[in-house]
């Protein structure tokens, strides 16, 4: 299963690189679903493991008193000063990179790629649909801890996918939507 997931990560990176290749300068500078970040910030963030040393990440974490989101924001803002073409080349040259988030394994890497890809494509209104086989791996890994981490308000709600046989939560309020929209809800993204 690990090799299947690694192949899915590579496929997702390839798809995103192809999509990013066609963006205009205005789209690179457009807001993403990540609060306060443009599309370029998101790409800088997702490519961070490919162009930053562990020493840099550790130093940024120390400067942020161990607050990952704070360090991540600072690094993304600094790296977004690079030309978009350079960030795109980093992504293209690292499609098969074995990076995984701490404690997340290959499924965590796939989650990272898909969620941030949606942060870009949904914000830009590109209409991309994540392949269901990839999306299912991520959705099946969602736990209450993810909801808590992202500070999503899902109390009393049951999420039901309209395009996959998948549900999350057990509350009386049923929310039906395409699976990738539900994933974004779990991740605390505002879709409107």
Q: What is the rounded distance in angstroms from the CA atom of residue 19 to the CA atom of residue 52?
A: 24
Q: What pLDDT is stored for residue 192 in this prediction?
A: 63
Distances in Å between the alpha carbon of 69 and those of 28, 42, 54, 57?
A: 22, 13, 16, 12
Per-residue pLDDT of the chain (192 residues), as tens digits, is: 799 999 999 999 999 999 999 999 999 999 999 999 999 999 999 999 998 888 998 898 899 998 888 999 999 999 999 999 999 999 999 999 999 998 889 999 999 999 999 999 999 999 999 999 999 999 999 988 888 888 898 999 999 999 999 999 999 999 999 999 999 999 999 876
Q: What is the rounded distance in angstroms from the CA atom of residue 100 to the CA atom of residue 94?
A: 13
Structure-derived torsion over alpha carbons of residues 3, 120, 46, 188, reported in degrees to the nearest 10: -90
Q: What is the rounded distance in angstroms from the CA atom of residue 150 to the CA atom of residue 155?
A: 13
Residues 6+ apart with CB under 8 A from 112: 46, 101, 104
The domain locations on the chain are 2-138, 142-192
Phi then psi dihedrals of residue 89, to 5 deg: -65, -40
CATH T-level topology, domain 2-138: 1.20.120
Encoding tokens for residue 142? Answer: 């969602």
Place of tokens 């803002």: 77
Encoding tokens for residue 143? Answer: 């736990």
pTM of the predicted protein model: 0.94
Beta bridge partner(s), residue 136: none
The CA-to-CA distance between both ends of the chain, in Å, stands at: 36
């Amino acid at each position: 299963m690990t090799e299947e997931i690694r192949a899915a990560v590579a496929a997702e990176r390839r798809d995103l690189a192809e999509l990013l290749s066609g963006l205009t300068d205005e789209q690179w500078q457009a807001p993403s679903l990540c609060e306060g970040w443009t599309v370029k910030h998101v790409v800088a963030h997702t490519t961070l493991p490919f162009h930053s040393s562990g020493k840099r990440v550790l130093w940024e974490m120390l400067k942020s008193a161990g607050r990952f989101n704070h360090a991540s924001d600072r690094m993304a803002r600094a790296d977004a000063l690079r030309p978009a073409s350079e960030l795109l080349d980093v992504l293209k040259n690292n499609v098969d990179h074995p990076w995984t988030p701490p404690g997340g394994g290959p499924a965590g890497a796939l989650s990272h790629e898909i969620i941030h890809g949606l942060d870009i494509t949904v914000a830009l209104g590109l209409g991309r649909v994540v392949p269901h086989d990839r999306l299912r791996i991520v959705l099946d890994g969602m736990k209450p801890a993810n909801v808590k981490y992202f500070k999503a308000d899902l109390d009393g709600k049951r999420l039901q996918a309209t395009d996959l046989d998948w549900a999350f939560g057990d509350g009386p309020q049923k929310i039906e939507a395409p699976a990738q929209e539900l994933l974004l809800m779990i991740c605390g993204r505002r879709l409107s």
